[in-house]
C-alpha cells in the first residue's frame, strides 16, 4: 500500500504528461495522412528503384565537374554572405532582447523591472516576425523584386536567419551564470562592458557552435532556394532532376555530404580551440 509518506509526488504529473503526449501524437498521424504501407507497394517500389539505380555512376565528366564547382562556390557564397548580413541585425537585436544586459536585474536578484520587460517585447516581436516567414517565401518574393540569381537567396537567408540567430543568441546569453555580469554592473561598469567581461567568456563556445551549425543550415537552405531560381547548387539540382540525370543528382548529393562534413569539422575545430 502506498502511504503519502512513501509516494513520489512527481508520479502524477509525469503520468499525465505521458498521456498528453500520446493524445497529441494520434491526431498528428491522422492529419498528416501518414501511411507507411505505400512504401511496400510493388509499383512504387520499382519506381523508386529505377530512379535510384540511375544514380550510379555519379556524373564526373569535365564540363559537369566545372559546373558543379562553380555552383558549390556560389552556394557557399550565398550562405556566407547571408549569414554575415543576418549577424549584422541579429547581434544588436539579441543584445536588446536578452535580459542579460538588464541593469535593473542586477539589483533585483536577477529579475528585470517591468518597464525593461515591456521594452524588450517589440524587439522580440520583430525577431518573431523575421523568422516566422520561411526563407523560401522570402526568396520567391525577392526573385520577383531583384530577378533570378543569388542576390535573392542572400537576402532571404539574411532576413530569416537574423530572426533565428537573434532569438537563440538572446537565450544563450540568459542561460549562463549571470552573476559575473551582475557583479560588474554593481561595481559601476557599463552594460556592454559587463556583457563582454561577464557573459561572453561563458557563451563563446556555444555561440560559435550554433553559428557554424546555422551556417550549415544556410548552405542547405540556399540549395532549397535554388529550386525557385536563387542560384547555386539548388538550381543545378533542379535542372538535373528535370532532365532525369540521376548521375548528376548523385554528384550533387555527394557534394552536399562533403559540405556538411566540412562544416561539422570546422565547428569541432573551433570548439576545440576555444575550450
Partner 1 sequence: MTLHLTQISLTHANGVQALRGVDLHIGAREQVAIIGPSGAGKSSLLNLLATALRPGDGELQVLGERAWQLSAGQRQRLRARIGLIHQSPPLPPRQRVVTAVLAGKLGQWGLGKSLLNLLYPLDIPGARAALARLDLSDKLFTQCQQLSGGQLQRVGIARVLYQAPEVLLADEPVSAMDPVLAKHTLSVLCSHAREHNVTLVASLHAVELALAHFSRIIGLRDGQILFDLPASAVDRELLDTLYANEQLERSPPPPAHLSVQIPRC
Query: Are 120 and 185 spatial neighbours (Cβ–Cβ below 8 Å)?
Result: no
Answer yes or no whether residue 166 interacts with partner 1 by CB under 8 A. Answer: no
Task: Report the distance separating Cα 184 and Cα 107, nearest Å.
Answer: 12
Answer yes or no whether residue 189 interacts with partner 1 by CB under 8 A. Answer: yes
126 vs 176 by CB, closer to partner 1: 176
* Shortest reach from residue 162's CB to partner 1, in Å: 15
**Residue-by-residue DSSP string for 113-174:** PHHHHHHHHHHHHHHHHHHHS-HHHHHHHHHHHH-SSHHHHHHHHHHHHHHHHHHHHHHHHH
Task: Report the distance separating Cα 93 and Cα 125, nearest Å.
Answer: 11
Of 80, 140, 151, 171, the one binding partner 1 (CB under 8 A) is 171
The greatest distance separating any two alpha carbons of the chain, rounded to the nearest whole angstrom, comes to 78
Of 184, 230, 249, 263, the one binding partner 1 (CB under 8 A) is 184
Cell of 153: 537567396
Answer yes or no whether residue 164 interacts with partner 1 by CB under 8 A. Answer: yes
77 vs 270 by CB, closer to partner 1: 270
Q: How many residues does the chain have?
A: 275
* Shortest reach from residue 181's CB to partner 1, in Å: 9
Question: Where do we find the cell 552594460?
Answer: 191
Please list every residue from 89 through 128 that binds partner 1, using CB under 8 A.
103, 106-111
Answer yes or no whether residue 80 interacts with partner 1 by CB under 8 A. Answer: no
Answer yes or no whether residue 178 interacts with partner 1 by CB under 8 A. Answer: yes
Residues contributing to the site for partner 1 (CB under 8 A): 103, 106-111, 164, 168, 171-172, 174-180, 182-190, 192-194, 196-199, 201-202, 204, 206, 210, 213, 217, 275
Amino acid at each position: 500500500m502506498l502511504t503519502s509518506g512513501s509516494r513520489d509526488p512527481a508520479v502524477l504529473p509525469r503520468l499525465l504528461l505521458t498521456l498528453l503526449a500520446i493524445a497529441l501524437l494520434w491526431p498528428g498521424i491522422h492529419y498528416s495522412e501518414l501511411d507507411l504501407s505505400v512504401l511496400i507497394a510493388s509499383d512504387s517500389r520499382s519506381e523508386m528503384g529505377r530512379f535510384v539505380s540511375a544514380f550510379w555512376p555519379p556524373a564526373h565528366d569535365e564540363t559537369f565537374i566545372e559546373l558543379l564547382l562553380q555552383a558549390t562556390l556560389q552556394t557557399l557564397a550565398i550562405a556566407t554572405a547571408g549569414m554575415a548580413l543576418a549577424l549584422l541585425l541579429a547581434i544588436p537585436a539579441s543584445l536588446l532582447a536578452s535580459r542579460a544586459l538588464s541593469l535593473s536585474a542586477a539589483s533585483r536578484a536577477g529579475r528585470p523591472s517591468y518597464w525593461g520587460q515591456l521594452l524588450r517585447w517589440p524587439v522580440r516581436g520583430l525577431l518573431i516576425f523575421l523568422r516566422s516567414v520561411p526563407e523560401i517565401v522570402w526568396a520567391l518574393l525577392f526573385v520577383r523584386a531583384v530577378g533570378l540569381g543569388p542576390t535573392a537567396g542572400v537576402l532571404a537567408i539574411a532576413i530569416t536567419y537574423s530572426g533565428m540567430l537573434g532569438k537563440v543568441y538572446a537565450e544563450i546569453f540568459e542561460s549562463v551564470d549571470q552573476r559575473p555580469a551582475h557583479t560588474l554592473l554593481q561595481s559601476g561598469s557599463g552594460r556592454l562592458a559587463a556583457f563582454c567581461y561577464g557573459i561572453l567568456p561563458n557563451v563563446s563556445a556555444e555561440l560559435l557552435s550554433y553559428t557554424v551549425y546555422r551556417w550549415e543550415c544556410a548552405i542547405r537552405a540556399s540549395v532549397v532556394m535554388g529550386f525557385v531560381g536563387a542560384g547555386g547548387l539548388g538550381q543545378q539540382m533542379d535542372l538535373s532532376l528535370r532532365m532525369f540525370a540521376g548521375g548528376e543528382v548523385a554528384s550533387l548529393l555527394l557534394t552536399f555530404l562533403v559540405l556538411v562534413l566540412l562544416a561539422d569539422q570546422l565547428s569541432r575545430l573551433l570548439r576545440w580551440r576555444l575550450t
